[in-house]
Structure 1
Amino acid sequence: MTGGTAPYLLEMDSRLTLEENVKEDFLKPASLLYEEPENLLKQEVRELSMYNAMISAVSGGTTRLSEIASQTGETTSTCSTYMKSLMKLGIIKRETPYGEKSGRKSIYRIDDNMFRFWYRFIPANTSFIERGADELAWKRIAPSIPEYMGAIFEQICQEYRWGKMLEGESPILFQSLGRWWGNAPVRKKQTEIDIMGIEDKAHALFGECKWTKEALINSQNRISHVFLSNAAS
């Protein structure tokens, strides 16, 4: 939720639950993070409404440039210019299937998780937040948290695999990791690989990451370790 930014992390209280932290830091009009993304954008760009529309489109799952243009009512050329600015700011990233050159398969994703969380949940609940109904806002947000965590868990798993390789515990000495998506010739349908890394023509790593809110074992202090061990192996 914080994108790893130190001042935002300091707003989080490890003694509080996830729900309590979200309410305190995002769902109160006076909280630091309630208007933070828009305040940051105001310092960097002029046409705030257009940039808001672009980020909102990507946050809602519209990831291809032509689709973003259609949703915002702008030309692909105009959208491309705005996207380049957002990439320079570290808010948006352009992603291409692993091992392929940039092309029609490229998609846009929000690169800063604070922006990703904010645009995913805050604008849709502004009317509740400004009326002090943080409990109602949280009830609308909570069911979507596991879905939100899916892409973040993929990042965590990639970091885990990098750590294992640097510790000498990886059977594959990849130089990079990434996702791959496209048409699988054998299956003859669209396929996605969550983690992929190639060492050479004969050796590669493939992984699938699945996030679940359900405990895999009874010992709560080992759950995160089991998630990483099982999902990233």
Structure 2
Amino acid sequence: MFIGREKELTLLQQDYIGKAVMVYGKRRVGKTTLIQKALENCQHQTVYYECSKGAMQDNIDGLVRELARVKMLPVPLNFSTLQDVFIYLNALPKKIVVVIDEYPYLKKATDSATVDSIFQNIIDNRLSNIELVLSGSHIGMMKDLLQERNALYGRFAVTIKLNELNYLDAARFYPDRTPYDKVAHYAVFGGSPFVNQALNPAATLRENVISTILNPVSAVYLYASQLLLSDYSVKINAERIFSVIGNGKKRYTEIEDKLDVKKTGNLSKQIKSLTELEIVSRNSPINKIGDNKKATFEINDNLLRFYFTFIYKNASALQVLGAEAFYDEYVAPTLTDFISRRFEGICRDYFSLQVRSGKLKGVRNIGSYYYDDPVHRKNGEFDVTLELADGYAIYEAKYYVQPMTLDEIRREAQQVANIKELVVKQLGFIAINGFVEQEKPYTYLDGNDIFAGM
């Protein structure tokens, strides 16, 4: 099932003969599916080769075998270098699209800079009748190709960074669910097409969780527990950091204290690596952008966040109790709180989509707002905040089973009013199951509004 990616597909389907294209994104985000979809109606002859973790010559031989299979070579000829392969292809009297997937495996097989230099030479001199697509899952290595110091800098006609599907596109995997259930599924499973294809769209959240992420032989469980960390866990202590962050957002000092690590700078390097790989995000309130003390770290991937919140520390209990009893004992009691925190992110994404589509004007930034309330001796954050030219729009997001009451609305409004420093131009409420009653001058959105773009 191919869902979303319309803009990326249109971009990739353009003719880039004589040029190189780069596609990258984390594992299971849909890169290969996107590329193969783009190749379906390609007017040129195409070849797709996924690199292995073997030696360079093994990959050359593998590419040659694939070229022979698709009849670009009469038989598997002997080539000793990649340059020789492209010299041959470049001499053919037809236009060709060559896809080299998992390019970082080549860089691991031999000297990294040498591989980049080889492809620099190929792109500069051997693509007169060839479109070359380089793809990879190791975000750090692929982003390095775009740096000025790299031999491939400036060599790509277009670069496509593939992110997870947003909450609207992910909901197309379970279109008949209520907005309440759509939020729950996205909060747990995220936007990986690979993961969402494993779900039963007619099943309940409990049933889908039990059959996938709580099933140790399921591909979804393996994705969360092993595949996502396979390239990184050897180099950095990612699992312990993820376990500390869990479902929340933690300041650097909180992570440091929880891990009980000495202030040697090693944790800082590990956190930096995780943020560069985009597994963890560093976020600051929009009114405290330069304040490092207010910056927090979160796990980006919803499924990974679920795994490290509920399963990682309790893996032995899962084995002993089985999936159904484990869900009822360890997951169900706090699952609504887990989902509600992700709902705040969905609401921010909603406004971001509104701004990008041109439906919402005058927004300078979207995020959270940090406040101090000395009168009531408390501080905290408003998690859905739009920065405007002359103030802020504050939205309270509520993932309630029942509609939000007028008393609840008034209490939340008073909490915002208590922050004297805050210039509020608009106050709104987002309740997934709507409202019992509404009163002016507030703005109201419910689940149908949030999913209206489907």
TM norm structure 1: 0.83
- Partner Cα separation in structure 2 for residue 123 and residue 51 of structure 1: 12
Which residue among 275, 298, 302 is the counterpart of 1:109? 298
Q: Secondary structure at the match of 2:195?
A: helix
Rate the CA distance shift 1:62–1:195 in 2: closer, same or farther, 3 A.
closer
1:59 alignment counterpart: 246
1:158 aligns with 2:332: no
Q: Does 1:226 align with 2:416?
A: no
Higher relative CO (CA 8 A, sep ≥ 6), structure 1 or 2?
A: 1
Q: Distance in 2 between matches of 1:88 and 1:145?
A: 29
- SS of the equivalent of 2:230 reads helix
User: Where does 1:37-48 land on structure 2 (aligned, <5 Å)?
Assistant: 37-39=224-226, 40-47=228-235
- Tell me the CA shift for residue 41 of structure 1: 1.1
Q: Identify the residue that residue 278 of structure 2 maps to in structure 1.
A: 90
Gaps of 5+ in 2: 1-187, 405-430, 436-443
Distance (whole Å) between structure 1 residues aligned to residue 224 and residue 213 of structure 2: 11
Relative to structure 1, is the Cα distance of residues 216 and 32 closer, same or farther in structure 2, using a 3 angstrom cutoff?
same
SS across alignment from 2:189: coil
Deviations 1:38-60 (A, max 9, x none): 42212233146x21111100116
Indicate the residue corresponding to 2:81 in structure 1.
none
The TM-score, its normalising length taken from structure 2, stands at: 0.45
Residue 73 of structure 1 corresponds to 260
- 2:399 alignment partner in structure 1: 211
Q: Distance in 2 between matches of 1:192 and 1:62?
A: 12
Task: State the partner residue of 2:223.
Answer: 36
2:372 match: secondary structure:
strand
1:187-206 map, 5 Å: 188-200=377-389, 202-206=390-394
> Which amino acid in the other structure matches residue 52 of structure 1?
E
SS where residue 383 of structure 2 aligns? strand
Task: Return the index of the structure with the highest Cα Rg.
Answer: 2
RMSD (CA atoms):
2.8
In structure 1, what is the equivalent of residue 338 of structure 2?
148
Residue identity matched to 2:272? K
SS at match of 2:190: coil
| Other-structure match for 2:316 | 127
Secondary structure of 1:125's counterpart equals helix
Which residue of structure 2 lines up, in the alignment, with residue 183 of structure 1? 372
Which shifted more, 203-212 or 147-156?
203-212
1:21 corresponding residue in structure 2: 208
What 5-or-longer segments of structure 1 have no aligned partner?
218-222
Compared CA separation, residues 165 and 88, structure 1 to 2 (3 A): closer
SS of 2:398's equivalent in the other structure is coil
Structure 1 residues 62 and 156: CA distance shift in structure 2, 3 A? closer
Q: Deviations over 1:126-161 (max 9, x none)?
A: 223324611111102012111001221111112222
TM-fit CA distance, 1:29 = 1.6
Once residues 403 and 248 of structure 2 are traced to their aligned partners in structure 1, the CA distance between those partners, rounded to angstroms, is: 29
Alpha-carbon distance in 1 for matches of 2:287, 2:298 = 18
**What's the offset of the Cα at 1:225?**
6.6
Give the structure 2 partner of residue 220 of structure 1: none
Contact residue 125 and residue 137 of structure 1 kept, 8 A = no
Does the CA-based 8 Å contact 1:98-1:180 persist in structure 2? yes
Decide whether aligned partners of structure 1 residues 160 and 226 sit closer, same or farther in structure 2, where only a CA change above 3 A counts. Answer: farther
How has the CA–CA distance of structure 1 residues 18 and 46 changed in structure 2, closer, same or farther, with 3 Å as cutoff? Answer: same
CA distance in 2, matches of 1:105, 1:163: 26
Contact 1:174-1:204 at 8 Å conserved across structures: no
Give 1 or 2: higher helix fraction: 1
Letter in 1 for 2:234: R
Residue 364 of structure 2 aligns to a residue whose secondary structure is: coil
- AA aligned opposite 2:338: Y
Distance 1:71 1:225, change over 3 A: closer
